[in-house]
Amino acid sequence: MSDAINPTGRLLYGYPPGASGSKLANALLPLVTAQGGPRYILTNLEGRSTRTASIAAVKAIPDGTVLLQAISASLTLMPSLHSDVGFDPLHDLKPIASLGDFPYLMVVGPVVPKTVTNLAKYLVWVNDNPDFRSIGISINGSIGQLAVAALANSTGASLSSVSYQGTEDLLNDLRSETLAAAFVVPNPGISPRLEAPIRPIGTTSAQRFTYWPEVVPLAEQGISSMDLTAWFGWFTQGATPESALTTLRTAVIRMQASAQYSDVMKALMLVARPLTPEKMTARMHEEFDRYRNAVERLGIPKIE
């Protein structure tokens, strides 16, 4: 198929190469093309807690050749944490596909004794080791930031979040024992086995994690308000005419019905939840309102 029929576009993503989302994009983009869709290449555009990528996507020509991949919180939580994110997620972006749900995992690294197997034991340990009160998060504006604030509010523990640009440096600090705990996206570098160097002690979702049901949700460990999940999504400019998206939308639907798509979901520990664009928009509205209320209740100050 020639480029004139199947042109190359770009998929912008605000996290670094090697992150779970980058692996997702690199796995799915060839499947879209294989289903007769346009060809896109992944462009990692880091900066400003993913806002650089989001703003670049919003400002692109609305013809369907530039897409944005986002973790949901970048669009539905971040506006409640910043005075101005530089774009309106509900107006400036048009949903294309929801690409898998996941909870965040509260993990501990090798500096934490193996006897620490749950939240209660972690809180006792961190009280005795106050130099490790900082909990790592991938970026400011993520579900991890909200989870740390909720944890501190519910337990009264003196905990704070420390932000990284992506997950790899965070995992390295856990491994090197300069960081004790973090909230992270599920990934193959983590294991629920007790002997694993980085192991989960809870999840942010109220429901058990499909792939590791033995990991007890933090909601079951006394943090009753903790029910936070995230999802990956593809978007394009809100002004893009539907006529420019017909081929892409058809290919995405076919891709999500394929066995290869299911294999990618399993490999990255994502729970497939394909939604129509209308249902994606409704979900974003619901999350926007819920996160705004949570940020106000927890007293998280806005970033100017």
**Would you tell me the crossing angle of helices 246-256 and 20-34 to the nearest 10 degrees?**
110
pTM for this structure?
A: 0.94
d(C-alpha 16, C-alpha 231), whole Å: 17
Residues 159-208: tens digit of each pLDDT:
999 999 778 889 999 999 999 999 999 988 899 998 899 999 999 999 99
pLDDT per position as a tens digit, 18-50: 889 999 999 999 999 999 999 999 999 998 889
Dist. CA 138–CA 164, nearest whole Å: 5
Go through 102-122 and write b for each residue having 16 or more CB atoms within 10 A of its CB, e for each that does not: bbbbbbbbebbeeebeebeeb
84-101 per-position pLDDT tens digit: 899 999 999 999 999 999
Structure confidence at residue 261 as a pLDDT band (50, 70, 90): very high
pLDDT in tens, 120-170: 999 999 999 999 999 999 888 889 999 999 999 999 999 999 999 778 889
Find, among 147, 161, 103, 152, the residue nearest to 123 by Cα.
Answer: 152
CA-wise closest residue to 243 among 68, 66, 1, 64: 64
Query: Cα–Cα distance between 185 and 179 in angstroms, integer?
Result: 17
Give me the percent of the chain exceeding a pLDDT of 70: 97
β-strand partners of 97: 234
* Strand duo 181-184 + 134-137: pairing: parallel
pLDDT value for 65: 96
> Hey, what amino acid is at 26?
N
Contact predicate 201/116, CB 8 Å: yes
SS3 assignment, position 144 = helix
| pLDDT value at residue 4 | 41
